[in-house]
Amino acid sequence: MRISIVGAGPGGLTCARILQKHGISVTVYDRDPHPQARDQGGTLDLHADDGQLALREAGLLDEFFALARPEGQEMRKLDTAGRILEHHVPAEGELFKPEIDRGLLRGMLLDSLEPGTVRWGRTLVGVGGSGELNFADGTTVETDLVIGADGAWSRVRPAVSAAVPRYSGITFLEAWFEDVDTAHPDIAALVGQGGAMAADGERCLFAQRNSGDQIRVYIVQRLPADWVGVSDTAEIRSRLLDAFSAWSPPMVRMITDNDGPYVDRPLFVLPVPHTWEHKPTVTLLGDAAHLMPPLGVGANLAMLDAAELALALAGSGTVGEAVAAYEKTMLPRAAEMARLLENGAEGLLDAPSDEGYLPFMSESVEKTITLG
């Protein structure tokens, strides 16, 4: 089998690792010129019932626990004055969903692959009718299976689906705080070792501690996708001060005292459900297949997809049979999860109530798990 994966994120790399463990040759193509070309994003929690299952199949679970931060499972619900309304402190030995920085996870996966597996600086233009890869530099690669693990704006997706992401109406504005325990001790105290969240019905602050003494704050608002319109940090900060004028000064510091510029991240989603007609030479995983609001399931589902697809390829007689078996499980699971989370980004803005408003603290969503 000639297997080609497009996208060197957690899903694509997990799939490649498990394929290689089963003696299957695979090549990963990524448009970045090298592994350190851009920031990989903040921290994520890998769940025992999906992301960790995939890492177990990859033979990397011990390495993950050596890098992960169990203390990152701490979660706080705050009011707009900074008072703690709810507080989850992980128990000793609790490992259901420890945090790991995306960059550390990607580095661990890259180190586990055979040398030369990832081909950097390869920008995909499109996928040909029989599954060949067409790159921006004019080259073409013939392959038996193209796996699109290339995220929200997948260049592989059009080979099986006409669906395109739509703006959800919710935007995240990211702010970074470095050397927080020394330079920003008040913010560090508010956030703790994990995450903290506050909302007033129209806007939300969601802060996460990362490794390396860093905190990332996500400023969540219901706004047009192009609301920023400028790159001037001072002007953006002035708009934010107007929007959060009723919040207490300690909370407002999470949007004004950041180190460096803001990063605008409008949230896009795929239609629910997103399905396609089976094609034996092309398939999708992760955000390329089921782009949803960022409520703690994206990377986990991508890695579960990756593991199930790799195991199907290792255990089936043909590539087409493997893809059909994988999609038979993945597509219904993704559709169910997407329906559950369809308006989840709106829920982030909800003000405190007796029922709470921390979707990332809930473990009530049941997933269909097929791994042994």
Q: Detail the residues annotated as belonging to a binding site.
A: 38, 45, 102, 287
**Pick from 301, 256, 291: which is nearest to 270 by CA?**
291
Whether 174 and 228 have beta carbons less than 8 Å apart is answered as no
Structure tokens at 371: 């791994």
**DSSP symbols for 132-194:** -EEETTS-EE--SEEEE---TT-SSGGGT-----EEEEEEEEEEEE-SHHHH-HHHHHHHTTS
Residue 296 · residue 360 · CB < 8 Å: yes
Which residues does the annotation place in the binding site for FAD?
A: 45, 102, 287
* Cβ count near 212 (within 10 Å): 11
| CA 61 to chain CA mean position, Å | 19
* Helical residues (DSSP H) of 38-129, grouped into ranges: 51-57, 61-67, 102-112
| CB proximity list for 223: less than 8 A, separation 6 or greater | 170, 171
Give the residue numbers of the binding site for NADPH: 38
Nearest Cα to Cα of residue 15 among 146, 156, 165, 181? 146
Measure the CA–CA gap between 124 and 133, rounded to whole angstroms: 7
